[in-house]
Amino acid sequence: MNSPGILRRLNDSAEVWSWAFNFFRLASGVLLLPLLLHSLSTPDLGIYYVFLGLTALVPILDNAFSFNIGRFVGYAMGGASELLPLGMHSTKTGGTPNHRLVWELLLASRALYLRLAFGTSLLLSLVMWGVVRIRVQETGDPHWTWIAAFLTVLAAGIEVYSNWWNALLRGMNEVSHSARISTITYGTKLILSCALLLAGLGLVAIPIAAICSAGLLRQLSKSRCLSILTADSRPKEARYSIDLMAKLWPNSWRVGLQLLSGYLAMNGMAILCLEHLGLQANARFGLSWQIMTIAQGMSAVWTQVSWPRVNQLRTNGMISDICLLLRPRLWKQMVTYAILAAGLIILGQPILTLLDSGKQLLPSTLLVLLLLNGFLELHFSFWTVLLTTENHVPSLKATVVTNLFALTLGAWLLVVRSSGMEALVIAPLIAGCAFNYWYWPKRGASSLKTSWLSFLVTAR
């Protein structure tokens, strides 16, 4: 066996680095929580969760714009000469990267994200001031708490501004480098957070680590991007285009609203569980849901790394190549999830018992239904993301309505029918099966001029 060759292939694998990133996300919960419990008093821990809750919407804001920036960059790398706010030109471009357009997107993204970072910081500052001042006197050191609040706001703004370079890099189909940089910087954030907590910095540890890792992410991503773009392709006048910024908006707010509706529906379910079933039930539901989302994230890696290339192929109308690229990856995604789900059903609770953690998953039947919904949701996500490569978000209304219906149905089953914990599992499954889980695979396959079953069985 050629060990250096194997290591080189692993280092160049976007899938391996994406799995490593998911591992660090899992490790952050395992490592940070005990340290937070040890380092912070109960009031300080409560304030920490206030900080965490207030900044939870920042990734949604970032993802809404970075998703569309990455797609536009993919079009430009596929040779597109012009970008539209919605939809695409039907003419084929020949596939030669349009570096000038990438430069224009770079400059427009920089100007856009500077405004986003400033607006996010300003809004978060006002909300933070209004919320924290109510209970700040209960913390161990109010002055230290205000410093931590300021650093949290600063970190949120810096993280928003830093992320666009990595989105640009990913859109260039530099998925392996993008995943490697994200993993390295997230690992740095985790290690630095643990070190600062152990050093006794308390509430300021996490935002300081976030600021440092965001700066590292920006620098590494920027360096790689500029190594790809040729200097002579840069516009002579380094000015951003208001028109190009405006073209990013129509789909960005749609993606953002779709992500926000899912976030609110899930948190609404958690509040219902906590209010009507208590902490123990909420712990079982929350732990099961968290592990299910980890399985989704690990499985989705197979297809996520392909979207920049799909954007390039869309630009040139190369539908057959898209089918050939995505079909085996979709199968790998489904099989990976099935294996992880089966392992969770069979081994999840025995492992928790063996670890003597005192924690429990959902009962077997409900766990199976939760994981089934996770599988269908993952499949739905694949097809709706595929449709967005045509530069529109047709699933917005259906997704928002479905999330609202799931939350309403869950509340009715739980409060009126007294159904118990099964209401939280059954409601999203029923809501999804009513429309989203069958319609969008059909609609997505039709965009590839095939049927759902034909796509799975035969790639053209």
Specify the pLDDT at position 397.
93
Q: Which residues contact 420 (CB under 8 A, 6 or more apart)?
A: 277, 414
Say whether 176 sits in a helix, a strand or coil.
helix
Interatomic CA distance for residues 376 and 432, integer angstroms: 8
Check if the beta carbon of residue 215 is closer than 8 Å to that of residue 190.
Answer: no
- How do residues 342-356 score in pLDDT, each as one tens digit? 999 998 888 777 766
- CA within 13 Å, CB half, 435: 13
Check if the beta carbon of residue 384 is closer than 8 Å to that of residue 432.
Answer: no
> What does the radius of gyration of the chain's CA atoms come to, in whole angstroms?
23
Cβ atoms < 10 Å from Cβ of 375: 19
Interatomic CA distance for residues 337 and 348, integer angstroms: 15
Taking the complete model, does pTM exceed 0.85, yes or no?
no
Residue spans of the chain under pLDDT 50: 1, 238
Interatomic CA distance for residues 119 and 247, integer angstroms: 19
Interatomic CA distance for residues 326 and 451, integer angstroms: 14
Apex 285 CA angle, 284 and 291, nearest 5: 90
Specify the pLDDT at position 11.
66
DSSP class of 204 = G
Specify the pLDDT at position 55.
81
Specify the pLDDT at position 2.
58
**Residue type (1 letter), 97:** P
Domain boundaries, the chain: 13-240, 249-460
| Per-position DSSP letters for 230-292, written without gaps between them | -GGGS-SS----HHHHHHHHHHHHHHHHHHHHHHHHHHHHHHHHHHHHHHHHHHHHHHHHHHH
Distances in Å between the alpha carbon of 299 and those of 72, 206, 210, 385, 388? 25, 29, 27, 15, 20
Exposure string (b/e) for 405-444, b if CB count within 10 Å is 16 or more? bbbebbbebbeeeebebbbbbbbbbebbebebbeebbebb
Exposure string (b/e) for 98-119, b if CB count within 10 Å is 16 or more? bbbbbbbbbbbbebbbeebbee
> What backbone torsions phi and psi does residue 234 show, to the nearest 5 degrees?
-75, 135
